[in-house]
Structure 1
Amino acid sequence: MSAPLSIWVVSDGRTGIQNQALGLAEAVARLTPADVDVKHVRWRPAFDRLPSALKTPAMLAPGSFDPRTVSEWPDLWIATGRASLPLSARVRDWSGGRTFVVQTQDPRWKNDRYDLIVAPAHDGLSGANVLSITGSPHRITPQRLAEAAPAFAARIAPLPRPRVAVMVGGASAAFDLPPAHAADLAERIAAAVTTAGGSLLLTYSRRTPEAAKAAMTSRLSALPGWIWDGTGDNPLFAMLDAADHVLVTEDSANMATEAASTGKPVHILPMIARKAPGKFARLHADLQARGAARPFDGTLAPWTYAPLNETERAARAVLEAVRSR
């Protein structure tokens, strides 16, 4: 292509959602010259819960990306999340077929309206326009982790090894993290880190209940390490770069996938199930089959495996499909 590929990344702007589309776009941009532009789609509160079929651009919130103002559509539209669906399903019409439309996750609506759906294999979605990958696309690469490290080196570099990164999620439709269970997890983590003579690097999710945070922080704050309190720049990438082991709660496909991309042992922390784990169990079984993850057994035995690189695989498939068309 003589000119850079123009890519729009479209989501509601929440980090965990946006990073799927942005990570895929960045992976495409590593393969070919490209200009990546981020667009946020938000709906007025009165219309946000309407079915996607009933939403129109007139219902968009002030400050949201508005397709009515577009004079030139991009080569590639990569979107994720429910908020983007009413637009993604219409982009091919609005662009006169110029724009190649990619939707990540399972849209569960008008799946034939997207040129390609990059869906987690654990969702079980199939179709002629579906590319199944292990987990979800993300932004983590060895280079990005290494670039993040210097800004936090003064805090992390003196810590003893093994360094144990812990990524804690929270309440969801499938899982809960009550204080008693959080305290029990903290005891098990503390025992493992202490036995190994290592240190702790911990981040909480926005979904982590405050009572669970308090219970875990109370027990783990005595360990060498750093429990990020949410203020200042997010040190997650630097923590993953420095870690020798990564512990993730079982409620997040994104966290497990990101951890498995590091090539470092991934230990899955159990939570309280609200219902059958279903797709999460399928994802964890996939990661275990790849040698990336194991249930946390209270020890920190090391192992090796080929880092998960599904975002790169998806990017190559997207670029091939764009060029073929």
Structure 2
Amino acid sequence: MQEATQELMHGCIGILSDGKPGHLNQSLGLADALLRLRPELDVQEIPAMPWRQAMGELLWPGNPKQDMRLLIGAGHATHLSLLALRRAYGCPTIVLMRPSLPGAFFDLRIEPRHDGGAENERCWISEGPLNRMQPSAARSNDGLILIGGPSPHFVWDGAALRVQIQRLCNGQRQWQLSGSRRTPPEFLEALSTLEIPGLTVHDADALPTGWLACELPKSAECWISPDSASMVYEALTAGCAVGVFDLPAQAGSRVASAIEGLCARQLVTPFDAFATGCEPTVPAAAFAEADRCAQRILERGWL
């Protein structure tokens, strides 16, 4: 990344950041895919402006020196900054979500399917949030287990998850398990006391930065609690065979519906199918939503 004040020699893709890692990961996923197609471009991370400053820039835009070709943002706090910098640079804007402002304000919206939007010229529907994962050429026979926690989309049942994890770890693979910031500490403590053969339990806070990005692409199989929907899409993009544990869905949850859709299309394997002998498999076609969207952007002539 380069400082916002640095003058660039090549055309630039600007990423508006609200400081939230999940939102930045989505924007970088699209930017990475664009760079694979146009490696001569630069990427610049730009902090989102406070709303008063953004409104000032909308009314009296500055005279920037960068050759900005495209602006990308995710997160409601980036919306006004995207519009202000579009006026300053005169380049297209892409927002990676259903925006809180009218969609017509932006040149393109890329909305995850679970947001419930409809595909049209200015709104593309992606299968889940975009991400930075890429499959690895070298893949081990080991597996990952990723656990979330209480969420608005599924009823948390730690005891049921522990039973499923015990059934999964049947000696055929070595497994690494990581919780998240949402995982109740008592869940990991109880799981560790079971001393399940072949299972290593990690505290997410104790893992080095980038651990998941390193381990996921080289893992053969990944099982995920369904509340961690973004991890499901990252595991698919990384080229893993993906399974989801069973938790009761909250009524009306679009995220739960999206997970059900992935199961129905046999992109992921639900645990109840695994329990009857159905093993997760890698999807026949590569799951590469960021690359698909990047190709469509180039076909529009924006870079």
Distance 2:35 2:212 in 1: 23
1:68-120 CA distances to partner (integer Å, 9 max, x unpaired)?
A: 6954462111110111112123332233xx22101101113221111111111
1:140-180 CA distances to partner (integer Å, 9 max, x unpaired)?
A: 0124x86xx9xxxxxxx7xxx5x221111223333353xxx
CA deviation after TM superposition for structure 1 residue 322, in Å: 4.0
Q: Does 1:57 align with 2:49?
A: no
For 2:95, which of 103, 107, 118 is the aligned residue?
103
Q: Does 1:7 align with 2:13?
A: yes
Contact persistence 2:262–2:268 (CA under 8 A): yes
Determine the structure 2 residue equivalent to 1:201: 176
Q: TM-score, normalised by structure 1?
A: 0.76
Q: Does 1:308 align with 2:270?
A: no
Determine the structure 2 residue equivalent to 1:76: 70
Determine the structure 1 residue equivalent to 2:124: 131
Q: TM-score, normalised by structure 2?
A: 0.81
Unaligned runs of 5+ in 1: 44-54, 61-66, 150-156
Determine the structure 1 residue equivalent to 2:3: none
Distance 1:248 1:268 in 2: 5
Determine the structure 1 residue equivalent to 2:112: 120
Determine the structure 2 residue equivalent to 1:183: 159
Q: Give runs of aligned pairs for residues 247-262 of structure 1, distance below 5 A.
A: 247-262=223-238
Distance 1:223 1:81 in 2: 41
CA deviation after TM superposition for structure 1 residue 37, in Å: 1.4
CA deviation after TM superposition for structure 1 residue 135, in Å: 0.9
Identity over the aligned pairs, expressed in percent?
27
Distance 2:256 2:21 in 1: 24
Contact persistence 2:55–2:80 (CA under 8 A): no
Tell which deviates more after alignment, 100-109 or 242-251: 242-251
Contact persistence 2:241–2:282 (CA under 8 A): yes
Q: How many pairs were matched up?
A: 283
Q: Is the alpha carbon distance of 1:253 and 1:11 closer, same or farther for their aligned partners in structure 2, counting shifts above 3 Å?
A: farther
Amino acid at match of 1:320: E
CA deviation after TM superposition for structure 1 residue 293, in Å: 0.5
- Matched residue SS, 1:283: helix
Q: Does 1:226 align with 2:220?
A: no
Unaligned runs of 5+ in 2: 1-8
Q: Is the alpha carbon distance of 1:208 and 1:71 closer, same or farther for their aligned partners in structure 2, counting shifts above 3 Å?
A: farther
Q: Is the alpha carbon distance of 1:217 and 1:130 closer, same or farther for their aligned partners in structure 2, counting shifts above 3 Å?
A: farther
Q: Is the alpha carbon distance of 1:174 and 1:75 closer, same or farther for their aligned partners in structure 2, counting shifts above 3 Å?
A: same
Contact persistence 1:263–1:307 (CA under 8 A): yes
Amino acid at match of 2:131: H
